[in-house]
A and B are shown apart, each in its own frame.
Chain A
């Protein structure tokens, strides 16, 4: 976030240019050890997952963390037929649509919250936070019944609508923090330059909030992409079932084989979009767009 705030930019720049005192060797070793342990700790399960995905089905239970026999069979297995392909498409579609709608709405709402005075503002913030804190599990049953009656059950909108409800508070909250850091003077300048409120928003504020919008998009997309509880409760067929939910329905080759290989392969696949997403937007997040707006 330091990249966004004008005053923060200054500190960041200073930190970069300041000649740092060289660390004593003992401290270096301690830091190095701590970092290595932390990284190993977090990466180990991921490696385990990848190893499982690449093991040949026969060697799944050989007790090794290293695939002795590399094989694509788990991957080809899940892409055979529609059991995983259709849910994957559902996941992408539902995730992207929810993210777009949510971020567009949240951008406008967050701008209003950050910059405008209107009655009921604190109520709006309070209610949206309340929704964010609501335990999902308590809503599953009512949602199930409502959606069945409305004919939304097992459809894309049936998942998109609740996803919007739960991602909006998060998006509004994150975005309003970004908007607050855009210098007020820019808005005043635009006002004096003759821009209307809408022109100020589209020409000045929104472009500057891009890093914030990118960050929020990732968060919202990840929420929709990873969501399991609603996905499994509000769908019954591959018409709208998303990838995480579909993985729960994987079966082995026979009734008696455990589908751990397929699940691992599917887990690796659904991690890929998240990695790509973060890589695309990371630069935007880091690039301090407002640098130079005001004397920093």
Chain B
């Protein structure tokens, strides 16, 4: 078990591209941290550098305060689980799991004991003498996990271990990994592009974009207080809705009419010398069917009239998609750039559709206008020029 810290770590390739730029991060002993970001954000490169599979161009990587930049993977005492599982196809499950122990010249009875233990933990006992080709995806994934845990390593590194599984199995394995980590208390770094995995698994999440750290924090922190447009758009499903607006004194002017901002927010905006042009973000759940919002709560927000073109009922909630006035092109540059990188189908801002999460008892109908309430206390404001969060 180990603490891992990255100090000004960078990765430059010979052709000049920088995959990871000046990354600083302290990972506590036993912590479960998730590196998340769209493809090409440098998360796997960062993981490979920690594993020792790629050289570190600049900066220092410390494990338990010792600099390990120059150590080869075998001397770092870490275990890794790969997206492709990377099981040795010519070996049985037992041999696969025993391989790292055998390489370490562990006595045979100790190997047998550990493999047996891990197999029981992962419910693989009856498959021990089968070859990977005869296992299902979930079983292969568990073997890969088994090969990692038999060693009692200093840290687990997991590179998108669930992305090859089908949706149902993915949820099962996610809980299993979570349980396993809590039980073994081994420092774990988990790489994924899936924000749901990141939110559900991580003690903390590191959001990366183009090799640059965007924000580190607990899942709730990232959700409630995204540091910039990118994090706001990336974390949360369905994604946050965005709309340009203007600040004038304590009033936000945007296509849904003027909104008087809470005094606390106004004070902080003044301190930050917030610019006039902003991008307003609002999460789908901060909308509600106005008919269902009562009294004091209703005063916290404003109402708008919308005509949803699609309603998706999931039983526990209803997603309403409704068109909104199209924004002026000039104000949307940063927003569109972010949307392209996040790679979400419902790219925020690139089209003029909002999504609202409503209570299932709503009476809203497709194509019929109704009054929608939105919580103005939950608005997120971002600088339209650089996407930084304002008034936090």
Contact = CB atoms under 8 A, between A and B. Distances in A.
Contacts of B134: 292
A192 to B, nearest CB: 4
Contact of B89 (A190, A203, A291): A291
B80 A188 contact: yes
A294 B86 contact: yes
Interface string A172-194: 00000000000101101111111
Nearest to B132: A292
Interface string A283-296: 00000011111110
A293 B137 CA distance: 11
Given A292-B133, A292-B140, A193 B89 contact: no
B99 A193 contact: yes
Contacts of B133: 291-292
A194 B51 CA distance: 11
Size band of the interface chain A makes with B: 20 to 34
Contacts of A188: 51, 53, 80, 82, 86
A189 B88 CA distance: 9
B368 interface: no
Interface in A75-126: none
Given A192-B73, A195-B74, A203-B99, A293 B89 contact: yes
A289 B104 contact: no
A65 B79 CA distance: 69
A199 interface: yes
Nearest to B76: A192
A208 interface: yes
B89 A295 contact: no
B329 interface: no
A190 B131 CA distance: 17
B314 interface: no
B147 interface: yes
A290 B89 contact: yes
A192 B131 contact: no
A234 to B, nearest CB: 41
Nearest to B102: A203
A188 to B, nearest CB: 5
A32 interface: no
A186 B96 CA distance: 11
Interface of A: 183, 185-186, 188-196, 199, 203-204, 207-208, 289-295
Contact of B86 (A185, A289, A291): A185
A214 B87 CA distance: 23
Interface string B140-159: 10000001000100000100
Contacts of B167: none
Contact of A293 (B72, B74, B80, B86): B86
Q: Which of A191, A203, A292 has the largest number of chain B CB atoms within 10 A?
A: A292
B100 interface: yes
B273 interface: no
A247 to B, nearest CB: 42
The 5 closest A-B pairs by CB, nearest first: A292-B133, A294-B84, A189-B86, A292-B132, A185-B86
A71 to B, nearest CB: 50
B103 interface: yes
28 contacts: A185-B86, A188-B80, A189-B82, A189-B87, A189-B88, A189-B147, A190-B99, A191-B72, A192-B52, A192-B74, A192-B78, A192-B80, A192-B157, A193-B74, A193-B103, A193-B151, A203-B88, A289-B90, A291-B133, A292-B87, A292-B135, A293-B84, A293-B86, A293-B88, A294-B84, A294-B87, A295-B84, A295-B164
Contacts of A186: 86, 88
Nearest to B144: A189
A191 B88 contact: no
Contacts of B147: 189, 193
Contacts of A207: 90
B39 to A, nearest CB: 17
B132 A293 contact: yes
A215 to B, nearest CB: 17
Given A208-B89, A295-B140, A192 B51 contact: yes
A194 B90 CA distance: 18
A149 B344 CA distance: 75
